[in-house]
Structure 1
Amino acid sequence: MRDALSKVLVSKDVFYTDVSTTKCVSSIRAEVSNVSAYIFLNKSISDPGFRSATYVIHAVGEDVHCPPINGNEIDLLVFRVDSKRELTDVLTCLKNCPLLKSKSKTLVVMKHIRTKTISGVFKTLWENGIFNSLITVQRDIGHVMDLYGWGAFSQSSRCGRVFTNYFHVGACANGTVLFDGDEASLQKFAETSFHSCSISVRVVDWPPFVIPETQNPPDRKNANYIGGFEVQLVKTIASYLNVELRFSVSEKDLNWGTLHENGTASGLYLALLEKSADIGISSLTFPPGYRFLDYGPIYYYEKLVWCVRSPPLMVSWKKLIIALNTIHWHFLVIIYVVASVLVWALSKRQEPGHSKKLGRCFTRTLADILGNPSALPKTTSLRVFFTFWLIFCFHTNLFYLTNLMSLLSKAVTEVEFATSDEILNSSLKLMFLSATKMYFTSDRTPNAFDKKVLGRWVDCPNLETCFAMTVQRGDSAICLPESFILYMGARYMPAPMSCLLRAEDTLVSYPVTMFMRKNLPLASKISQAAQRLSESGLLGAWRQMAFDTDSADFEQLSRPPEENSTVFSLKEFKPLFRCVIFGWVAATVAFILEHLIHQVISKYSTWKNAPPQY
């Protein structure tokens, strides 16, 4: 008797009543299962080892309440069925229950079945993600049960593509199991060589995660991908497991699709649900109905940011102002006023012949700041002040001219949108990739931010159109993943586009993982390998390599490379020449006006002082 707590899964209310069959099932179970947690059969079996709770699953295709059993604790699944159709119905009932694990061993007990049907039973099990299986079939004569096995990953089985090469393992009578060969033939469950397997990977062309070799490949069911750090990840896993990879892509561009809570799906997720693909990659995260699929470890965190049309170039005269920031200008004005007043106060009492008018002091102090110092004062106190004042003016001029030359030698743009809130509060159209909508429509109650985004949501039909609306028309802002922006910005992103990449401007941050169809036989090994590669730090190196790989799908957005140096020409000095000419004109006009006023005043004084004539 086993001391371990046993759990029961039955596919019929009543098991076999004959003692011989019951003993055989118990003996086979004891041979193939050697850990403490099991799933057994009906408690009516006259074997104390089957003492446990019972969960009855009717093989009529009905909806069933999942038993409260953790599938990871299951070592053996036992099904009692009379036909392949009945087995299919039972598995259909359990398809959404966390019981069917590909690593679990499975024993199918069948009363009577024709030999040619055995291959169909193994195929049914394989299609439901069960490959560690044995079938027991009772002979028509006597109480003998034959055992059949099938090497799912053997060379002859070709990893689930050939089911007719099943083999006879042994026979059982009255609880005694007789093997055809070594007892180890019953333990062909844990295969380690997958050289005959191939894995279908469904992707969406999305650098730097997935980078295609050619644009619009002729065979989308067998495409070739040269780069992308997720492509490198699955290729490394395939090399480790010694399996073959087959990449496929949808006929529709950017067809991620979605997976709803009720199990309905579209795009890439639909391919996984329909088992036309084994693995899905391309910056995938958890959709609302992710429980209908298996998934690997989280190996990257992505975030969505805004991109808008780059603001226009700043007019040159503004560069004269922004060479110093607002604080510097305020500080300089205060120092200028204080210095002028101080010079006036000291000159008024101590400096004979020096400027004693406040207006003239302001003029001379301004000349000092502009690099044209006035005559050296005569008193000691003013000379000490004047010396430090000239040192301050020299450093201020040097700082200003350095910043000004830097601004004049490069293109400087106006700042239109500095934060994400300014974009949300603007009149721009908000363009989004349709696959990102689930980040704002989760099962939680949408907050005010989500409602604002969804209220102005506009689906992006394709990237080329969205870029045109953002760059050429300038009436839109597009929301894109940061990794895609960083990849595209180096070579393909339209030049007049800028993106808000600061952490505080992030709209949404989400984890990236790979998804697998439910009960993929190699799911556990793929997840373990992905976890080890993620922890090794190789993903960071592969991601950097992806940024250096060209993508054929985005050549239409390419732009000529920018030169590292900026040509410095006399055009940059046009504002300065304008200022000089304006100063000369203003000075000339002032001189003429002053001369005219002086002439008028002189004539008036002469007329006034002239003696009266009688």
Structure 2
Amino acid sequence: MDCTKFISEQHFTPAHPVVIVLPPTEEDSTTEEVGYLITALHTSSRWPLLLFNTTYEMKGKMNTEIYQHGNYIILISGSCRNFDEYMEKFSKQLAGLAYGNVQHSWNPRAKFILPVMSACTDYNTTYLSGAILSKLWLYKVTNSVVLFLESNGHITKFLQRNETGSAPNVRLSLHTWFPYENSQSCNPIDGTVPIRVFFLRNVSDIHRGEIFRGYIGKNLHRCPIRILARVKPPFVFIPNRIWLNASGRYTLVYNKGWDIGIISAISDSLNLSVVVLPARYPRSKSVRNFVSVNILSAELVKGRADIVIGQVLREEIFSHSLETTRSYYSMRIAWCTPCATKYPRWTRIFRIFSVYLWIYFILSLVLAIITVICISNYGHKFHLPEFGLYRDIISVTANVTAVALGISVATKPRTSSLRVFFFSWVCHSLAMSTVFQAYLTSFLIDTGYEEPIRTVEEMLNAGMRFGFPPSYKMFFNDSTDSIGEAILRKVTLCPDEGICLKWASEGRNISTLRSDMTTEFMHSIGSSTDDNNRPLLCDLEDGVVVYFQAVMAVLKGNPLLEHINDVIDRIVEGGLFKEWKKLFFNHARVAKKAPSSYTLADTYLNISLIHMQSAFYLFLLGHAAALFSFVIEMVWNSRASKQREATG
């Protein structure tokens, strides 16, 4: 135990909590050796000490550290005659740390000292240390050392086997290893990593040994890394099936996708060989379409893979056993509503002028009629030669209206005063007619758009229903959110996001949720756009519901995580990922033969008969009214002639 204390003082970071994991059995935990170690470490006052056990109740209350542990001392005990007993008890100790009540504080990157308390002569210590270090590797622990009390017989056999000379008065042996040191030491589970053994005469020899190296370089000598890929375009596309003559079977090759590009860059930077494994999909088709990250993370925990890729979102990882890389793509899910539509062409005829302007026009027409009658009557009193046509209210109304419509009158006025007013009315009517026709032509071509929905409050007040897939329902389960409750009361669940977008863009009967990646993709391929290349679905100003970050998942403590994050940072900061996004959307646009995005050129339209259809209907209505008036006049004139002949 003096050796354990000395190594702790030399290598453990001061002020960081030291966890002492007691042996699983109570009799082993209450020995004088254990008490001596705890007392010695406590007396040094260098670290907070936490005692931990996995199988029996300890008297008194224990404080649980809420932050990550800094160092570990795991006391290993067992029967000298039963090799498996050591590993069984050690497995329980590790599982209690990684998956027990303190799993949130579990720190695989800490320094581990594992003293084997029994000095046995019945087994080779390198076999036991190899099994212990292999078990630690499953938990991604690489910075560890195993201590043994050695007998003279063990030392002699080891020296003869390795031909390293003599080591008189050796009391201890220190066992460790260094994964990824060369191409032959890639996977400790396969037994390819050699155990480094240092024999110690006394505790002063420890600082000369190569222990707690910890850091793994950036050259991994083409060691394999296993990638578990979930097919999620554009992050991971469907793999190609290639026939291998050597093996006589097909193999899957993943070569397209943003995540695949990042993995390739990581492989080149760290000199790794990549082995991509397909995700094991459930048989149920409904579940197959949405493979949870929790299903894939089980493969990491079991040691079958090193990294999970395929649109892995940081927000969907809840396990304390996993860690994530740096985010390389941020996305959001936000509300979108049907964009404002164009006004119908017939309604725009009546919206050319405001209501007040139409009232002014009617009042000016009435005032002009009254003025003409007054001027004619005033001139008649002074015996001015004016036609009686301009003193009759019906005739005056017809003439004034004809001038306003741009039609010539049957008889021009005679007197100067009436001619002056008549000329001013002609100028006024010409100006009004010119403005009206100009606006009429422009509105017949482009009628303008209705007032759009801009905020969530306006969306709620619009009376429109809401539609989204069932998986989005969890965003509104907060009972204290009044907006969420209002949305859930009027929700219509869609089978998937594509159906929701189709209902919203074509049916225009719901507001829905969509990710900004979906928005970019739809714009790039020209989907959900109108004739003028304008989008049919518009985002709200305050419609963001949740943000997501795309990451990769690894087991907690993965020694390569720092290097992987460094590569991801360089990809993002260098603009490489942004360029990948741009290429993906450009390829999608070219494949769909979609037009480019909306530009100012789209504001110019070719006038066709469709745009002038309303004008033709107006002209047809005018000719029909003129024909009807002509027929009525002919009938009325015929009846009047017959009456005159009868009376004559």
TM over 0.5: yes
Choose from 74, 77, 90 the match for 1:87.
90
- Displacement of 1:215 in angstroms is 7.7
* 1:547 matched residue in structure 2: 585
SS at match of 1:397: helix
- Displacement of 1:189 in angstroms is 1.2
Tell me if structure 1 keeps the 8 A contact 2:2–2:203.
Answer: yes
Q: Which amino acid aligns with 2:186?
A: R
Larger radius of gyration: 2
Report matched runs for 1:291-440 at 5 Å. Answer: 291-298=320-327, 299-306=329-336, 318-322=344-348, 326=351, 328-330=353-355, 332-350=357-375, 357=393, 359-360=397-398, 363-364=401-402, 366-368=404-406, 383=423, 387=427, 390-391=430-431, 393-406=433-446, 421=459, 425-426=463-464, 430-432=467-469, 434-440=470-476
Deviation track 1:573-601 (CA, whole Å, cap 9, x = no partner) reads: 55544443343233212211222223334
Q: CA RMSD in A?
A: 4.9
* 2:116 matched residue in structure 1: 110
* 2:196 matched residue in structure 1: 168
Q: Which amino acid aligns with 1:55?
A: L
* 1:120 matched residue in structure 2: 131
Residue 622 (structure 2) pairs with residue 592 (structure 1):
no
Residue 543 (structure 2) pairs with residue 506 (structure 1):
yes
Tell me if structure 1 keeps the 8 A contact 2:464–2:510.
Answer: no
Deviation track 1:428-455 (CA, whole Å, cap 9, x = no partner) reads: 8x341x54343234xx436344345556
Deviation track 1:90-149 (CA, whole Å, cap 9, x = no partner) reads: 221122523333432222222347321322212211211211222222214587221122
SS at match of 2:587: coil
Tell me if structure 1 keeps the 8 A contact 2:240–2:252.
Answer: no
Distance 1:572 1:450, change over 3 A: same
Deviation track 1:487-532 (CA, whole Å, cap 9, x = no partner) reads: 1443385779975332247362323231423312223443455456
Tell me if structure 1 keeps the 8 A contact 2:241–2:252.
Answer: no
- Displacement of 1:89 in angstroms is 1.4
Choose from 495, 509, 519 the match for 1:485.
519
Distance in 2 between the 1:477 and 1:221 partners? 44
Distance in 2 between the 1:185 and 1:198 partners? 26
Higher helix share: 2
Q: Which amino acid aligns with 2:40?
A: I
* Aligned positions, number: 554
Distance 1:292 1:130, change over 3 A: closer
SS at match of 1:501: strand
Distance 1:274 1:84, change over 3 A: closer
Deviation track 1:220-265 (CA, whole Å, cap 9, x = no partner) reads: 995424244x554554455444444455445368754557xxxxx4
Q: Which amino acid aligns with 2:72?
A: L
Distance 1:579 1:473, change over 3 A: closer
Distance 1:333 1:474, change over 3 A: closer
* 1:26 matched residue in structure 2: 5
* 1:145 matched residue in structure 2: 172
What percentage of residue pairs aligned between the two structures are identical? 14
Distance 1:249 1:460, change over 3 A: farther
Tell me if structure 2 keeps the 8 A contact 1:24–1:177.
Answer: no
Q: Which amino acid aligns with 2:537?
A: L
Distance 1:164 1:201, change over 3 A: closer
Distance in 1 between the 2:145 and 2:628 partners? 107
Structure 2 spans left out of the alignment, 5+ residues: 21-36, 78-85, 153-168, 244-248, 377-385, 597-601
Q: Which amino acid aligns with 1:94?
A: L
Tell me if structure 2 keeps the 8 A contact 1:79–1:107.
Answer: yes
Deviation track 1:327-366 (CA, whole Å, cap 9, x = no partner) reads: 7443552342244245335434457769674743662364
Distance 1:438 1:242, change over 3 A: farther
Distance in 1 between the 2:465 and 2:610 partners? 36
SS at match of 1:111: coil
Q: Which amino acid aligns with 1:105?
A: K
Tell me if structure 2 keeps the 8 A contact 1:417–1:423.
Answer: no
Choose from 535, 540, 553 the match for 1:516.
553
Distance in 2 between the 1:488 and 1:542 partners? 17
Distance 1:380 1:133, change over 3 A: farther
Choose from 171, 189, 196 the match for 2:214.
189
Deviation track 1:175-201 (CA, whole Å, cap 9, x = no partner) reads: 22257xxx4722521122253455444
SS at match of 2:113: strand
Tell me if structure 1 keeps the 8 A contact 2:147–2:174.
Answer: yes
Tell me if structure 2 keeps the 8 A contact 1:57–1:90.
Answer: no
Tell me if structure 2 keeps the 8 A contact 1:205–1:211.
Answer: yes
Q: Which amino acid aligns with 1:149?
A: T
Distance 1:66 1:389, change over 3 A: farther
SS at match of 2:405: helix
Tell me if structure 1 keeps the 8 A contact 2:403–2:426.
Answer: no
Distance 1:487 1:169, change over 3 A: same
SS at match of 2:214: coil
Distance in 2 between the 1:149 and 1:400 partners? 88
Deviation track 1:356-393 (CA, whole Å, cap 9, x = no partner) reads: 7474366236414xxx6888997557656754663454
* 1:68 matched residue in structure 2: 65
- In terms of mean alpha carbon deviation, does 76-85 or 213-222 score higher? 213-222
Distance in 2 between the 1:217 and 1:355 partners? 96
Tell me if structure 1 keeps the 8 A contact 2:526–2:595.
Answer: no
Tell me if structure 2 keeps the 8 A contact 1:134–1:148.
Answer: yes
